[in-house]
């Protein structure tokens, strides 16, 4: 892919500062490419289903391709599991639960989970390369965030396995049985870790389905699990589309559903399990408010906003996609943001210099473009970086909207791309009311010098996570989850154990 790293000529120079940044580039300053090696990863031409510790052919004999969204090339093909395959996976998980896993002393279970964490670390480079090739996220993110955080989740929950009596003092806890787990395409390996680690630590067995466009790191994890000698059937990883997910949800022998994905599918799942005994956690969409007060350290806040919305191409459920800036500093913040966005490098995700990689799929790119049109038609003012885009692949320039009204669709709906909607406010009460005026409630951010403002806000915000003077920070020991249409149940931390146990 030929991506020239030299900045394109600016469309117009609005401020002194942005001229300085552009001048630097326009006088020839640029990064040399620093590509990670494709050969660090082994990707097989075809993958079967990982059921009962073995690779099994799909009973419908169907496979589908997974591609690299940065080049549109096919990477591999993976099996399409039908209801019969789901049934096989669930019965393998049930047998493993009844005969082995639920009977194994907790300290022995822990050893397996520790082993998986160490192997994820050992294979970190390969996993990062596969994550980037299959999903389009910059290698810097896969390498420095996704893979290490996934390993940390396995380590963290391995530590809990034989200490559940301390997690739930004076209570008796028992595993639920078979957990059906369905994950999206934005953090494929990390979401698999979030799901599998607490389930195993509490003594449950698993049937997991990764998303259609990003199945490869979950399949690599299946290879790790096989190599780690986990007893057959304890973790089963099956690929397929929405129908495979629906078959897991409706299978009568599944005791718990853990789903991360869109609010629409979350609602379908709730309907499907209504009236059954299945427990569920749903981690759904978001439209996080990131709030900058006039007393905030503005440069730090701008960096936080960049991290909040342009990180991972905005494919982040908790992305800070609504920015509320106090009126007195709005002009300055918007100028600083535009200057900073002009320096972001969009392009080859395998290049270590890249800040913004490929949009995960053609369909998602079309969704983003649709919202850009909606925003313009609603009367908001759109501004995008002047950066060049690669000729092939699915890419989107980092974009922001100003003159946005609270009722605009770009301020209410999840776009799931590198698109920021900027609104202004005058008082604390006003911004809290506006920020809470959303069907979602997953996360929020606040930037201010005053601790009292932080406490006032965090107390009154209807959001599962509120970051103060930072954004998008994750740790296995911190619970994560939403209010309202962002779902229910918590993953991570001590709270993340609860959805996998019966507490007596
Ligand atoms: P999605 O369309 O809901 O898909 C999520 C998963 O569900 C995929 O594996 C999908 O399979 C599967 N699926 C589709 N239809 C299904 C059905 N009827 N029954 C059961 N499973 C079904 O979401 P997405 O577009 O992949 O992911 C983006 C969404 O996830 C965003 O809304 C984002 O906010 C949300 N998200 C939330 C969190 C959180 O923690 N709250 C974290 C990450 C992402 P296919 O891939 O084959 O369609
Ligand atoms: Mg792919």
Q: Could you report the per-residue pLDDT of 405-440, keeping only the tens digit for each?
A: 999 999 999 999 999 999 999 999 999 999 999 999
Q: What's the pLDDT tens digit per position in 160-202?
A: 999 999 999 999 999 999 999 999 999 999 999 999 999 999 9
Name beta bridge partners: 35.
351
Per-residue confidence (pLDDT) for residue 21, from 0 to 100: 33
**249 CB less than 6 Å from ligand 1?**
yes
| 424 to 244, 310, 327: CA distances (angstroms) | 44, 20, 5
Cα–Cα distance for residue pair 346/466, rounded to 1 Å? 29
Per-residue confidence (pLDDT) for residue 31, from 0 to 100: 84
Catalytic residue, chosen from 36, 141, 317, 414, is 317
Cα–Cα distance for residue pair 367/264, rounded to 1 Å? 15
- List the 443-447 sheet strands across, edge first: 381-384, 399-402, 419-425, 322-326, 289-292, 443-447, 465-468
Cα–Cα distance for residue pair 218/222, rounded to 1 Å? 6
- 357: which 2 tokens? 């990689």
Instruction: Give the distance (Å) from ligand 2 centre to CA of residue 146.
Output: 16
Q: What's the pLDDT tens digit per position in 86-106?
A: 999 999 999 999 999 999 999
pLDDT at 226 over 70: yes
> Do 299 and 271 fall into the same domain?
no
Domains in the chain, number: 2
Angle between helices 106-122 and 188-201 (to 10 degrees): 160
Residue 8 located in a structural domain: no
Instruction: Give the distance (Å) from ligand 1 centre to CA of residue 462.
Output: 23
**492 CB less than 6 Å from ligand 1?**
no
Active site residue 283: yes
Per-residue confidence (pLDDT) for residue 336, from 0 to 100: 98
- Please name which ligand lies nearest the alpha carbon of 358: 2
Residue 18 located in a structural domain: no
> Do 112 and 132 fall into the same domain?
yes
Per-residue confidence (pLDDT) for residue 27, from 0 to 100: 52
Residue 12 located in a structural domain: no
Residue nearest to atom 30 of ligand 1 (CA): 261
**497 CB less than 6 Å from ligand 1?**
no
User: CATH number of the domain that 308 lies in?
Assistant: 3.40.309.10
> Do 203 and 335 fall into the same domain?
no
- Please name which ligand lies nearest the alpha carbon of 75: 2
pLDDT at 145 over 90: yes
Residue nearest to atom 31 of ligand 1 (CA): 262
> Do 291 and 322 fall into the same domain?
yes
Name beta bridge partners: 282.
259, 488
Comparison of pLDDT for 26 and 192, the residue scoring more: 192
Residue 23 located in a structural domain: no
Say if CB 183 and CB 209 are below 8 A apart: yes
Nearest CA among 92, 422, 383 for reference residue 234? 92
Listing DSSP states for 227-252 in one string gives HTTPPTTSEEE----HHHHHHHHH-T
Active site residue 387: no
pLDDT at 477 over 70: yes
Residue 362 located in a structural domain: yes
């Amino acid at each position: 892919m030929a991506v020239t790293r030299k900045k394109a000529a600016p469309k117009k120079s609005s401020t002194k500062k942005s001229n300085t940044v552009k001048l630097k580039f326009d006088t020839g300053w640029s990064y040399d490419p620093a590509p990670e090696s494709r050969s660090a990863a082994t990707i097989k031409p075809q993958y079967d289903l990982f059921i009962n510790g073995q690779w099994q052919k799909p009973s419908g004999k169907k496979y589908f391709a997974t591609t690299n969204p940065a080049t549109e090339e096919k990477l591999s093909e993976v099996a399409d599991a039908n209801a019969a395959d789901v049934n096989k996976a669930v019965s393998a998980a049930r047998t493993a639960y009844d005969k082995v896993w639920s009977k194994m002393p907790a300290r022995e279970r822990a050893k397996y989970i520790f082993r998986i964490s160490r192997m994820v670390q050992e294979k970190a480079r390969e996993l990062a390369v596969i994550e980037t090739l299959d999903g389009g996220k910059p290698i810097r993110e896969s390498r420095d965030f996704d893979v290490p955080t996934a390993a940390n989740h396995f380590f963290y929950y391995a530590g809990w396995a034989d200490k559940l009596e301390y997690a739930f003092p004076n209570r008796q806890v028992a595993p639920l049985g078979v957990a059906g787990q369905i994950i999206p395409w934005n953090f494929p390996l990390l979401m698999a870790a979030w799901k599998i680690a607490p389930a195993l630590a509490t003594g449950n067995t698993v049937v997991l389905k990764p998303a259609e466009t990003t199945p490869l790191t979950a399949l690599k994890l299946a290879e790790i699990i096989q190599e780690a000698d986990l007893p057959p059937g304890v973790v089963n990883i099956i690929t397929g589309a929405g129908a495979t997910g629906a078959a897991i949800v409706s299978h009568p022998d599944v005791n718990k559903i853990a789903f991360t994905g869109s609010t629409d599918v979350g609602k379908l799942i709730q309907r499907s399990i209504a009236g059954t005994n299945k427990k569920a956690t749903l981690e759904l969409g978001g439209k996080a408010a990131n709030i900058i007060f006039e007393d905030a350290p503005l440069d730090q806040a701008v960096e936080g906003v960049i991290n909040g919305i342009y990180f991972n191409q905005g494919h982040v459920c908790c992305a800070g996609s609504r920015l509320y800036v106090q009126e007195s500093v709005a002009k300055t913040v918007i100028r600083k943001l535009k200057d900073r966005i002009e320096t972001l490098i969009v392009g080859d995700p395998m290049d270590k210099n890249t800040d913004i990689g490929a949009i995960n799929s053609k369909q998602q790119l079309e969704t983003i473009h649709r919202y850009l049109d909606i925003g313009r038609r609603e009367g908001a003012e759109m501004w995008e970086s002047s950066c060049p885009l690669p000729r092939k692949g699915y890419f989107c320039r980092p974009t922001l909207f100003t003159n946005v009204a609270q009722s605009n669709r770009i301020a209410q709906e999840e776009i799931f791309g590198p698109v920021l909607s900027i609104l202004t406010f005058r008082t604390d009460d006003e911004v809290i009311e506006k920020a809470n005026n959303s069907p979602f409630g997953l996360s929020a951010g606040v930037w201010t010098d005053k601790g009292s403002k932080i406490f006032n806000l965090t107390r009154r915000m209807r959001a599962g996570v509120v970051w103060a003077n930072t954004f998008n920070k994750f740790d296995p020991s911190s619970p994560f989850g939403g209010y309202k249409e962002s779902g229910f149940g918590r993953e991570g931390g001590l709270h993340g154990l609860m959805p996998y146990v019966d507490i007596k």
